Amino acid sequence: MNSYKGTLSFHLSSSSGDFSSASSLNTEMNLVELECKTCATNSGIKLVRRMDSSLAFNGKTQLFSLSLAETGGWLKDPKNSLKTWTTPTKCEMIEVLSSLTSVKILGDHTRWYESVSLDNVKFSAGVKSIPITCMTPVDFTKPGK
């Protein structure tokens, strides 16, 4: 299945924890991390979707539906704290989604203890074909290709 330009959706809820004020919540957290260890010629790519005002979680049962497009608020880990996080390219997004190594969804939303439930995690199909510009060219002049 090609999930590029599709969605990643899931339900989160909490049965305990203090979600009553902004001061009790963790800040600058990654809601979702998508990682591909074999991408970028085996150097790996990690994409994150950070918590923001459009993704606030108050502990009540909530459906999250995240766009799986490079324009969906995703950031690419530069693997260097001196560099800035950037928006992934279309081809990087497609590469990560086609070779996922791990998917992590945040369960620690408060500064103290809480109990969080995750349910109905689903990748939904997006476009039917990968853009030709993102396909790896084959060099037929080299042996073994």
For residues 109-138, average pLDDT: 79
Residue 16 counted as domain residue: yes
Q: How many domains does the chain have?
A: 1
* Whole-number Å distance between alpha carbons of 105 and 125: 19
Cα distances (angstroms) measured from residue 27 to each of 22, 80, 124: 9, 21, 28
Residue 124 counted as domain residue: yes
Residue 67: give the domain boundaries: 7-134
Residue 1 counted as domain residue: no
Residue 44 counted as domain residue: yes
pLDDT for res 142: 53
How far the first Cα of the chain sits from its last, in Å, is: 26
Residue with tokens 């990087």: 92
Residue 98 counted as domain residue: yes
Residue 144 counted as domain residue: no
Residue 142 counted as domain residue: no
pLDDT for res 143: 56
Token output for 138: 């084959």
* Whole-number Å distance between alpha carbons of 140 and 39: 22
pLDDT digits (tens, 9 = 90+) for 18-64: 777 777 777 778 899 999 999 988 999 999 999 888 888 888 899 99
**Average per-residue pLDDT in the chain?**
86
> Do the Cβ atoms of 4 and 130 come closer than 8 Å?
yes
Q: What is the DSSP letter of 86?
A: B
Residue 141 counted as domain residue: no
